[in-house]
Structure 1
Amino acid sequence: MLEIGDFRISRVEEVVLDEPVDLFAGLDETIIAQNREWMEPHYYNGERNVLQSMIHVWILRRGDRTIIIDTGGGDDRDRPLSPRFHMQKRHLDRGLIAAGVDPEAVDTVFLTHLHVDHVGWNTKREGDRWVPMFPNARYIMSAKELEARDPERGAASKPPASWNTYLDTVKPVLDAGLVDVVEGTESLGDGLDMVPIPGHAPGMTGLRVRSKGQEAFFITDVMHQPIQILYPEWNSKYCENQDMARETRAKVLKHAADEGALLLPSHFGRPFGGYARRDGGGYRFEPAPDVM
């Protein structure tokens, strides 16, 4: 358990996935060799020559509040365009319960963006229906993300198979009246501020947590791997707007270095977060002592 002032932060892991090293166009054997000592084993597997990508859910608590930040890939999902998330049985729901999270007691589900690996447990299957996993929570979603993913709007020009994520994880909670649509600059309460961080996804939004002089910043997919702190010009191949993703990453790193903020991304391996420290004209990665 990590403490940021009055807030407690924990995580539940869904799966660790292999990512090919061509996730980043600039990552080559020379750069791997220069950084292998700190990248291996939690960020890079040299035996298989793959990067390690974590899929997990962040849990943020203060008092009687429980906030879930993103909801993983989900089980039993028809994902023909995303084989790694197609008809899986990873049982994140059981992991949450084992970690002391009662789905009915969660008051907020903060969705940084609506990509397949961030929304899967918004819902669960009951018979032939998808129903909200967190029935008493408000689901926070960006207006820009909703517009981009809705098959009747931004997603209309994309293949119908790509609509599945929206139809079984987003539409059911919309239909249940549980969604709060935001611009991405609002507050979730004292010490909790949304921050627009677009690029990887058009309406991607981070959550900044401040308490008693400390700060943690949930930055989701601004960075997929800590090597991007050393090479902030590198985008992953999944970034939808490559130029904007670079601009956002530069802003986030400057803020983190200026404020000493703990960065908590969605896919870093152990210890799952860390700091961006200035190093000459750039930055170096300093892992957190251990987030969990």
Structure 2
Amino acid sequence: MNTPDPTTDTTTDTTTDRTSGSRTIRLGEVEVTRVVEWQGPFAPARELVPGAPEHLWADNADWLAPRHWRPEDDQAIMALQTWVVRSAGRTVLVDTGVGNGRERPGTPAFHHRQDDFLGALARAGVRPQDVDVVVNTHVHADHVGWNTTDREGEWVPTFPHAQYLIPAADDFHFGPRGGYGGGARVDDRLVYEDSIAPVHRAGRAVLWEGSHRIDEHLTLEAAPGHTPGSAVLRLASGAERAVFVGDLLHSPVQILDPAHNSCFCQDPEQAVATRRRILGRAAAERELVLPAHFGGAGALEVRANGDGFAPARWAHT
């Protein structure tokens, strides 16, 4: 299955902030900006998506490389990033990356990281006090880290005026009532204690299930499988449609064949069913798909292609 990688942007208005390097796309009345914490080779491709056969990568190397895959050493290229969504007069952050100074012994790439994420956010025109809503699509270390910052030895909410929207199923599973993810990974307790529990203590956490409407343009919907509470954020403004899919996708090969999960998916069968459902709707309704971790161009439209899907057009965010 070989699919060319179109280089033209989607038919959305695009502007670039030359100071910050960030690029903003306009979808109806909503503006979306990508703020990157880190980007580069992350893990061997066939460890990240273990079910994807070698030929699926090789047959599509002409467009997977170099933005999504480095063939010479089989490294998947990924990004840690946050989507800034300006909607209905408010500033919404979709996921908050890894964070600085975290104890993550089970994940060396995240252990004691030091990045200038808040500087990048400021260069995109966002101060912590400006943020109205934080969306955690799920409770994994690289999606909740900047929820909090260390203030004199205490973890406190980074965005003091924000409402933090956290899937109830993930809050239960990864919190003390669920045994911190059932004790499967040492990092799960640490993540909850430094990035979720302080938000609860500050009275800023809002747990939701099923669906949750943020405003007239933005709605959260349950999309379980990757984690029990994984969610997508849908955007509808005028004729424009988009869906922020979190970790539904780690690599474009999962678009080509949605049957392949990442190594982090907790319920493989449910993750596949959810991926097919979300991509099917995106193709049918021409939704712009915005994954959490794609390197290179950050978003794309997809089209149906046999039993899977294919990139239709990339949006350079």
Query: Which of the five TM-score ranges fits, normalised by the shorter chain?
Result: over 0.9
Q: Which AA in structure 2 matches 1:21?
A: A
Give yes or no for the alignment of 1:96 onto 2:107. no
Match in the other structure for 1:254: 280
Q: Which AA in structure 2 matches 1:89?
A: Q
Give yes or no for the alignment of 1:121 onto 2:146. yes
Whether the aligned pair in 2 keeps the contact of 1:21 and 1:50 (CA below 8 Å) is: yes
Whether the aligned pair in 1 keeps the contact of 2:180 and 2:192 (CA below 8 Å) is: no
Give yes or no for the alignment of 1:60 onto 2:85. yes
3-state SS of 1:89 partner: coil
3-state SS of 1:134 partner: coil
Alignment of 1:107-118 (within 5 A): 107-118=132-143
3-state SS of 2:79 partner: strand
Match in the other structure for 1:20: 44
Using the TM superposition, give the Cα deviation of residue 223 of structure 1 relative to its aligned residue in structure 2, in angstroms.
Answer: 1.0
Using the TM superposition, give the Cα deviation of residue 112 of structure 1 relative to its aligned residue in structure 2, in angstroms.
Answer: 0.4
3-state SS of 2:72 partner: coil
3-state SS of 2:264 partner: coil
3-state SS of 1:135 partner: coil
Using the TM superposition, give the Cα deviation of residue 160 of structure 1 relative to its aligned residue in structure 2, in angstroms.
Answer: 5.1
Using the TM superposition, give the Cα deviation of residue 154 of structure 1 relative to its aligned residue in structure 2, in angstroms.
Answer: 3.8
Alignment of 1:211-222 (within 5 A): 211-222=237-248
Match in the other structure for 1:4: 27
Match in the other structure for 2:98: 73
Alignment of 1:154-165 (within 5 A): 154-155=179-180, 157-158=182-183, 161-165=187-191
Alignment of 1:136-155 (within 5 A): 136-155=161-180
Give yes or no for the alignment of 1:210 onto 2:236. yes
| Residues 1:155 and 1:281: Cα distance change in structure 2 (over 3 Å) | closer
Alignment of 1:160-175 (within 5 A): 161-175=187-201
Q: Which has the higher contact order (CA 8 A, sep 6+)?
A: 2
| Residues 1:60 and 1:161: Cα distance change in structure 2 (over 3 Å) | closer
Q: How far does the alpha carbon of each residue in 1:19-53 deviate from its partner, in whole angstroms, 9 at most, with x for none?
A: 21222223343222210001011000123221111
3-state SS of 2:176 partner: coil
Q: Judge which range, 90-99 or 125-134, deviates more.
A: 90-99
Give yes or no for the alignment of 1:179 onto 2:205. yes
Q: Which AA in structure 1 matches 2:25?
A: L
3-state SS of 2:84 partner: strand
Whether the aligned pair in 2 keeps the contact of 1:113 and 1:142 (CA below 8 Å) is: yes
Alignment of 1:26-37 (within 5 A): 26-37=51-62
Q: How far does the alpha carbon of each residue in 1:187-206 deviate from its partner, in whole angstroms, 9 at most, with x for none?
A: 00102111111000100111
Whether the aligned pair in 2 keeps the contact of 1:81 and 1:162 (CA below 8 Å) is: no
Structure 1 residue ranges without an equivalent (≥5): none
Match in the other structure for 2:227: 201
Q: How far, CA to CA, are the matches of 2:211 and 2:88 in structure 1?
A: 24
Q: Which AA in structure 2 matches 1:140?
A: L
Q: How far does the alpha carbon of each residue in 1:157-183 deviate from its partner, in whole angstroms, 9 at most, with x for none?
A: 405553110001101110000011111
Q: How far, CA to CA, are the matches of 1:79 and 1:240 in structure 2?
A: 19
Scaled by the length of structure 1, the TM-score of the pair is 0.96
Give yes or no for the alignment of 1:266 onto 2:266. no
Match in the other structure for 2:15: none
Q: Which AA in structure 2 matches 1:226?
A: P
Give yes or no for the alignment of 1:39 onto 2:86. no
Match in the other structure for 2:159: 134
| Residues 1:206 and 1:289: Cα distance change in structure 2 (over 3 Å) | closer
Scaled by the length of structure 2, the TM-score of the pair is 0.88
Match in the other structure for 1:83: 108
3-state SS of 1:119 partner: helix
Structure 2 residue ranges without an equivalent (≥5): 1-23
Give yes or no for the alignment of 1:105 onto 2:155. no
Using the TM superposition, give the Cα deviation of residue 270 of structure 1 relative to its aligned residue in structure 2, in angstroms.
Answer: 1.7
Whether the aligned pair in 1 keeps the contact of 2:289 and 2:301 (CA below 8 Å) is: yes
Q: How far, CA to CA, are the matches of 2:217 and 2:256 in structure 1?
A: 29
